[in-house]
Amino acid sequence: MVAVSSDMSGRGMVEPREITLHGHRVSYRAAGTGPLLVLIHGIAGSAATWDEVLPWLAERYTVVAPDLLGHGDSAKPRTDYSLGAYASAIRDLLGVLGFERGTIVGHSLGGGVAMQFAYQFPERCERMVLVSSGGLGHDLHLLLRAAALPGAEWVLPLLCSSTLCDAVDGVARFLGRAGLRAGPDLEEIWRSFVSLSDSDARQAFIHTVRTVIDIRGQRASAGDRLYLAAELPTMIIWGEHDPLIPVAHAYSAHERIRGSRLEIFPNAGHFPHRGDPRRFVEMLVDFIQSTAPARVDEQTWRERLRAGGRPR
């Protein structure tokens, strides 16, 4: 296990930068030198979710953490908010910044984006880390399923009005009854909730939700293509008490991705990188240092697809 200093003070936050990509403003954080490490946040989140771990990781790696289009300080145009579009945007951002390959880390929706990135651009993905990831099963908390209902776009402005956003205690009690405990889960969900007071952010949120979720749960699933990750070093990190996406998805994915590594954080919820940042950094650094980056060529990829995941 790689040791990480217990003194996490004195490491300042990494300030956002901006770039224009396809005519749209893209905000991102970047720091460090060394092999590339890409951190992708979840739905209605931003790169700020990585603030506690990014400075430590930047001591060993070049870290890039974007605000996905429609999120954070990035532009929120009327556009395609599918997983494929997000994966392509990550590819294009890395290209503009001069990077070809790296380890891709995705949390929640970002996990789905990471898997899509590895599927669309296998030659650019050296390793994959899925943190409380979407896209690995249908089960999902009712709060997220409700956001996909017809009419949600009319209800959200009322829920996210400035009056209600000021009622911290009331919303905290509501989220608590929904299973979100005080601490990182509640803090992150509250930050996401407040971000939706912006009308453009709400529209982007609704469009994103409806590409991956319906009332029955998650629509987008990587289940039929997980066999393609058999030779891609993969680590799955999950909070044991995740109220939004059940930890059972982690165990199932671990069984289906041959050679994957599974780390369950016993006292964490949906944001294990915030619940125990030091352990998260240790796990991630150890994983990268103990695995060789994947090298996928066209012939290998073609053979995998032809096999279709069937034993040979």
φ, ψ of residue 102 in degrees (nearest 5) = -175, 180
Mean pLDDT, all residues of the chain: 84
Residue type, 280: F
Q: Which residues contact 173 (CB under 8 A, 6 or more apart)?
A: none
Quickly tell me which residue has 């009332």 as its tokens: 215
Look at residue 159 and tell me whether its pLDDT is greater than 70: no
Query: Which of 40-44, 128-132, 160-164, 215-219 has the weakest average pLDDT?
Result: 160-164
Q: For residue 25, give the nearest of 63, 65, 88, 69 by alpha carbon.
A: 69
Which of the two residues, 154 and 35, has the higher pLDDT score?
35
Residue type, 134: G
Q: Which domains does the chain have, with CATH numbers?
A: 17-140+220-307 (3.40.50.1820)
Give the pair of three-digit tokens for residue 6: 């217990």
Active site residue 270: yes
The model's confidence at residue 114, banded by pLDDT at 50, 70 and 90, is very high
φ, ψ of residue 35 in degrees (nearest 5) = -55, 150
Q: Whole-angstrom Cα distance, residue 8 to residue 53?
A: 9
Q: Whole-angstrom Cα distance, residue 130 to residue 48?
A: 18
Q: Whole-angstrom Cα distance, residue 131 to residue 134?
A: 9
Let me know: does 39 contact 104? Beta carbons within 8 Å: no
Which of the two residues, 5 and 302, has the higher pLDDT score?
302
Q: What is the pLDDT of residues 59-103, one digit of tens each?
A: 999 999 999 999 999 999 999 999 999 999 999 999 999 999 999
Predicted pLDDT at 9: 47
Q: Which residue is catalytic, options 27, 242, 249, 276?
A: 242
Share of the chain above pLDDT 90, in %: 56
Q: Which residue is catalytic, options 27, 108, 195, 260?
A: 108
Q: What is the pLDDT of residues 162-219, one digit of tens each?
A: 444 454 454 555 555 555 555 777 778 777 777 777 888 888 888 888 888 777 777 7
Predicted pLDDT at 178: 53
Q: Which residue is catalytic, options 41, 270, 273, 276?
A: 270
Q: Whole-angstrom Cα distance, residue 243 to residue 141?
A: 7
Q: Whole-angstrom Cα distance, residue 63 to residue 273?
A: 15
Report helix angle 184-195 to 168-177, nearest 10.
120
Residue type, 65: A
Active site residue 27: no
Active site residue 207: no
Q: What is the pLDDT of residues 265-302, one digit of tens each?
A: 998 999 999 999 999 999 999 999 999 999 887 787 78
Let me know: does 207 contact 44? Beta carbons within 8 Å: no
